[in-house]
Amino acid sequence: MICFAAAIVAADAQSDTLLPLANATAIPRDGSYLAGGIGFALDHAGDQVRLRFAGNDEVFYLSTEAAPLGARVLKYDTGAEALRVAGWGGVTLYTPDRPSGIPAEYADVVHSVDPPPVGPKDVKPFAAGLARELAARTDFAVGFAADWDGLSHYDTIRLLACDAMRNATYALEKSANSAKRNLISDQLHVVHVVAGKGAAAGVRRGVLTITVDPKGGPAARPSSLAIERALASAY
């Protein structure tokens, strides 16, 4: 584990190399899509594709690998398949409800999938708002903890930490509908965001600790899917 302040110099240097691609032939094509009533948007950042579903502020950073016949498979940080892009450019979306895939149609251009930024003075109110929303939707009494002073001073780590808190909220909302709901409600009361080496999530003694890696760029925080998996494993 490392402190937020000690990590920021290397983090800012790393962020300079992670600029969005301006390649019109990037695969899949940047833009908004519709797949069986599910809307989502895609764009590129470095060597990763970013995915954001309509009505949701989480941004998924997808890794890519080659598939037969010139296709590309795009995966979440959990290793689960999110999209498949055919050699000719057709996109298929995969969901837990439709494991065989849903053909997606290109709808329009998109300039960015980033959610609204959280300013230096807004970090604690942002976290408090997430806690209130979580309580209202799930009846979970969970608070957020972090190095608030560090987050107010360093943009790179603030971005990662706010993403991590948002992703944890989505993961807990999904877990509220699982068989582990009562255990989580009774035992988990704090989400602690820390800086460290590698993105990770784990639970110990009633605390969900989420590690963000300021040296790893904007993708270096666990997704809601990875956090949900950590909760399922712990309970």
> 107: number of CA atoms within 13 Å, CB side?
15
pTM check: above 0.95: no
Q: What is the DSSP letter of 107?
A: E
Residue, of 170 and 87, whose pLDDT is higher: 170
Q: What is the mean pLDDT of the chain?
A: 90
Q: Which CATH architecture has domain 21-108?
A: Beta Barrel (2.40)
Contact 217, 61 (CB under 8 A): no
**Looking at residues 181-197, what average pLDDT do you find?**
97
Q: 33 pLDDT exceeds 80?
A: yes
Q: Which residue's structure tokens are 């989502």?
A: 40
Q: 171 pLDDT exceeds 50?
A: yes
Contact 102, 35 (CB under 8 A): yes
pLDDT of residue 111: 81
- How confident is residue 37, by pLDDT bands cut at 50, 70 and 90? very high
pLDDT of residue 210: 98
Instruction: Give per-residue burial for 105-134: e unless 16+ CB within 10 Å, then b.
Output: ebeeeeeebeeeebeeeebeebbeebbeeb
Contact 2, 196 (CB under 8 A): yes
Domain boundaries, the chain: 4-11+115-234, 21-108
- How confident is residue 159, by pLDDT bands cut at 50, 70 and 90? very high
Beta strands 48-53 and 38-45, pairing class: antiparallel
What are the structure tokens assigned to 144, written together? 């957020």
Instruction: List C-alpha distances in Å: 118 to 184, 208, 215.
Output: 28, 22, 20
Instruction: List C-alpha distances in Å: 56 to 9, 201, 207.
Output: 31, 21, 25
pLDDT 10s digits, 5-25: 444 444 444 444 333 333 444
Q: At what angle do helices 123-138 and 155-175 cross, to 10 degrees?
A: 0
pLDDT of residue 26: 67
**Mean pLDDT lowest among 2-16, 41-55, 117-131, 185-199:** 2-16
> 55: number of CA atoms within 13 Å, CB side?
3
Q: 229 pLDDT exceeds 50?
A: yes
**Looking at residues 105-119, what average pLDDT do you find?**
92
pLDDT 10s digits, 47-79: 889 999 999 999 999 999 999 988 999 999 999
Q: What is the spatial distance between Cα 23 and Cα 48, in angstroms, rounded to a whole number?
A: 13
Q: 82 pLDDT exceeds 70?
A: yes
Contact 177, 224 (CB under 8 A): no
Cα pseudo-dihedral 176, 148, 220, 192, rounded to 10: -40
